[in-house]
Amino acid sequence: MSDPDSHPVPTRLDHLPSFLLTQSARHVHRMVFDRLDAADARGHHYRMLAALDEFGPSSQVELGRRCGLDRSDVAAAVDALADRRFVERTPDPADRRRNIISLTRRGRNRLTLLDDVLTTVQNDAFAALDADEREQLTAMLTKVVDHHTRAVHEQRAIVHES
């Protein structure tokens, strides 16, 4: 086995799931980034549009939390999306210091286009797997992510109890 740059790696690495996952993630991340870039989009823009579509209007702070973005990055991303009229920013009637971000019709159309881009990328990135294998991979990765997410939440709860 070799890494993405075709340099040989020690054979003891090629059976380690963590190594293989990292190598796969590098390939897939590059593919996703390139395809979104060609569509004049970024991954965090897609996540924000998807969160607004699924959960409805949200404060910038809540939107950032749902998308795993730092507070300072959310404002810039919202600005970029608002400039293109994919989202609308209005003052929160309950707290005028806070903005509520809403998905526009244009943003919903953009989200649909980006869904198609990402579907194509998933098909290309995982072409070596048949449909059942993709389902299994998704289930296994979900299980690993859920395990670590639970562990983080449990650790935070212990810290807060202290």
Closest listed residue to residue 49, CA positions, set 28, 71, 80: 80
Tell me which residue range forms the domain holding 155.
129-162
- What per-residue confidence (pLDDT) applies to 156? 67
The answer as to whether 4 is a domain residue is no
- Which residues pair with residue 88 across a beta bridge? 102
Give pLDDT, residue 93: 87
What tokens appear for 97 in the block?
């210091």
Entry pTM: 0.82
Both 119 and 53 in one domain: the answer is yes
Residue 25 included in any domain: yes
Q: How far is it, in rounded angstroms, from Cα 77 to Cα 37?
A: 15
Residue 45 and residue 55 in one domain: yes
Residues 159 and 98 in one domain: no
Question: In this predicted model, what pLDDT tens digit does every residue of 46-89 receive, in sequence order?
Answer: 999 999 999 999 999 999 999 999 888 999 999 999 999 999 99
Query: 137 and 102: one domain?
Result: no
What residues of the chain score a pLDDT lower than 70? Answer: 1-6, 152-153, 156-157, 160-162
Give the closest residue to 31 by CA, choosing from 121, 129, 127, 137.
121
